[in-house]
Structure 1
């Protein structure tokens, strides 16, 4: 019985140590310390468009290298360690029902603008079979070139809804 208790207490001792190692390893993920991004859950048809978009996205946007956030998903992408984050298949924003909402057009793709408190803007495509959302850090808040970089891939992979 004595040896059983030693093994039992030893395995209890190793349990928390192993848990700490797992937590430490999780902190060293490939997302370079970026906060995790919520992965959308679109219907299957929209998800198929998003998967095609994911493959067509550029490797660089405004000189920022692609660095997709965690968790890994074909529905999310990022550039510049979170400076620009794209999510595809997001729900239709309620703000689209507001006649006063602002929108811009970038190379043939319409985007609705939402100003966020203490953060850069969020843009969501309109008139597409899947909603594509792009958030920009405050550094890029007044620069439409990130949206222009997404225009060709969006037009190629996510059809108009009209």
Structure 2
């Protein structure tokens, strides 16, 4: 279940869906079976939290199996052919300083939404380390990825509220 921490209107949720839809129109989905992502370089304490998260991540999200990107790391995970990519311990996004930043809540986890040409990026807020999730067009109207990742985040990445 996704809801806003700022009481997002239906219009804003529709906007978030439109962002994903526009990303699909731009052809951002990849079919490359070997995906490479930058591995974050968090502090030692954040790395420990990310390793704990890595152990709790689901083997599947929807009908997509786990397919971690290269280079293999406890700080990254993936499902499908990069349909869903997670990076843990990323730097604080600049957009978090913007009081007008778009945000949603999925099963107790707040996520800031960044609109990008290559597809939407969600980053946790109010957690001891930042977890970033990028989605492709398969999830235009599907909150399954954020909902499936919420429980592991809640279990392993403490809230700072």
Same fold (TM over 0.5): yes
Extract unaligned runs of 5+ from structure 2: 1-31
Flag structure 1 segments of 5+ consecutive residues without an equivalent: 1-31
Q: Secondary structure at the match of 2:138?
A: helix
Q: Deviations over 1:43-83 (max 9, x none)?
A: 01111000000000000001100000000100000000211
Q: Answer 1 or 2: higher relative contact order, Cα 8 Å, separation at least 6.
A: 2
Aligned pair count reads 130
TM-score by length of 2: 0.78
1:12 aligned partner? none
CA RMSD between the two structures: 1.1
Write the distance in 1 (CA, Å) between the matches of 2:95 and 2:86.
18
Q: What is the distance in 1 between the residues matched to 2:144 and 2:47?
A: 26
**Structure having the larger proportion of residues in helix:** 1
- Hey, what's the Cα distance between the residues in 1 that align with 2:33 and 2:54? 22
Secondary structure in structure 2 of the residue aligned to 1:50? helix
The worse-fitting range, judged by mean Cα deviation, of 134-143 and 77-86 is 134-143
1:72 counterpart residue number: 72
Number of the residue aligned with 1:45: 45
Compare CA radii of gyration and give the structure with the larger one: 1
Q: Secondary structure of the residue that 1:128 maps to in structure 2?
A: coil
Task: Return the offset for 1:140.
Answer: 1.4
State how far apart, in whole Å, the 1-side matches of 2:160 and 2:143 are. Answer: 23
Match of 1:132 in 2: 131
Paired with 1:56 and 1:89, the residues of 2 have a C-alpha distance of 16
* TM-score (normalizing by structure 1): 0.77
Match of 1:35 in 2: 35
Secondary structure of the equivalent of 1:135?
Answer: strand
Q: Are 2:135 and 1:145 aligned?
A: no
Residue in structure 1 matched with residue 122 of structure 2 by the alignment: 123
What per-residue deviation string (whole Å, max 9, x for no partner) do you get for residues 67-104 of structure 1? 00000100000000211000000000000011111000
Contact 1:120–1:139 (CA<8 Å) still a contact in 2?
A: no
Aligned-pair distance for 1:33? 3.5
SS state at 1:51 partner: helix
